[in-house]
């Protein structure tokens, strides 16, 4: 039932009305203003512009994808309860079939949800050992602290690029190198932290709020 309801929510026409999204001309004007504000304005002007972005762009997007997101959550619950993730070897053949169908639909029709499902099924069905290789362990730790690492990236990069005049002025190569270096630091920090704690700091806070008690 969860899987069927999830599929209907994902692929049915959206039922939630939302505010209109800007057209192409409005988006071009917004990009020009964003380059000016983020590259030259002060902190309070940036915060005000972010609020306007939230109201005009992010809120319509969240409403537009709410039904699809809810459907994917239902489908994910169904997959978990069926035991596909915990015992993926038993479902390897149907996983490859779903991966092939999802990849075909995603490429031919240009839809991201079937393509994402194809990626997930392919990763789940890929043969692996019960003990990960040593080089995989830092990525495992970073995945267990995904929320903490995501928030750390957002805070650090916002502090570096907003209000410093660096926004839109650096070449792609040094920016990419900085991103890779920061991610390498997060890999090491994640292993160090989880050797001493059961959860990442923000994962611990989120779990404690979810269950209503100190984890």
pLDDT over 90 (residue 133): no
CA atoms within 13 A on the CB side of 142: 17
Domain ranges across the chain: 1-82, 88-128, 130-215
More confident residue, 77 or 169: 77
Asked if residue 129 has pLDDT above 70, the reply is no
Share of the chain above pLDDT 70, in %: 98
* pTM, two decimal places: 0.70
Q: How far apart are CA 102 and CA 126, in angstroms?
A: 16
pLDDT mean over 95-104: 94
Looking at residue 116, its pLDDT comes to 93
What is the reported pLDDT for 39?
84
Q: With the CA atoms of 201, 206, 208 and 211 taken in that order, what torsion angle do they form, in degrees rounded to the nearest 10? A: -160
More confident: 119 or 164: 119
Is residue 147 over pLDDT 70? yes
Helix (H, G, I), strand (E, B) or coil at 69: helix
- Check: CB of residue 76 under 8 Å from CB of residue 15: no
pLDDT > 90: what percent of the chain? Answer: 66
Q: What is the pLDDT of residue 99?
A: 94
Distance between start and end Cα atoms, the chain: 32
pLDDT average, residue stretch 198-209: 96
pLDDT, residue 3, reads 92
Q: Report the distance separating Cα 98 and Cα 121, nearest Å.
A: 7
Residue 126: is its pLDDT beyond 90? no
pLDDT, mean of residues 33-61: 89
Q: What is the pLDDT of residue 163?
A: 65
Average pLDDT over residues 57-71: 92
């Amino acid at each position: 039932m969860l899987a069927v309801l999830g599929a209907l929510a994902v692929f049915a026409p959206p039922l939630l009305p939302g505010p209109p999204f800007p057209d192409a001309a409005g988006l071009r004007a917004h990009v020009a203003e964003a380059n000016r504000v983020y590259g030259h304005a002060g902190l309070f002007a940036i915060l005000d512009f972010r609020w306007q972005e939230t109201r005009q762009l992010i809120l319509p997007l969240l409403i537009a994808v709410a039904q699809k997101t809810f459907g994917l959550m239902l489908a994910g619950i169904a997959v978990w309860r069926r035991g596909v993730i915990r015992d993926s070897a038993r479902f390897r053949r149907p996983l490859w079939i779903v991966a092939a169908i999802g990849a075909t639909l995603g490429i031919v029709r240009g839809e991201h949800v079937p393509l994402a499902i194809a990626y997930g099924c392919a990763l789940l069905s890929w043969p692996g050992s019960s003990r990960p290789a040593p080089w995989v362990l830092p990525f495992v730790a970073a995945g267990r602290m995904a929320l903490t690492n995501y928030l750390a990236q957002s805070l650090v990069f916002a502090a570096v690029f907003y209000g410093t005049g660096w926004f839109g002025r650096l070449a792609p190569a040094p920016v990419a190198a900085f991103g890779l270096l920061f991610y390498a630091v997060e890999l090491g920090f994640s292993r160090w932290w989880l050797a001493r704690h059961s959860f990442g700091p923000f994962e611990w806070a989120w779990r404690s709020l979810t269950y209503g008690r100190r984890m």
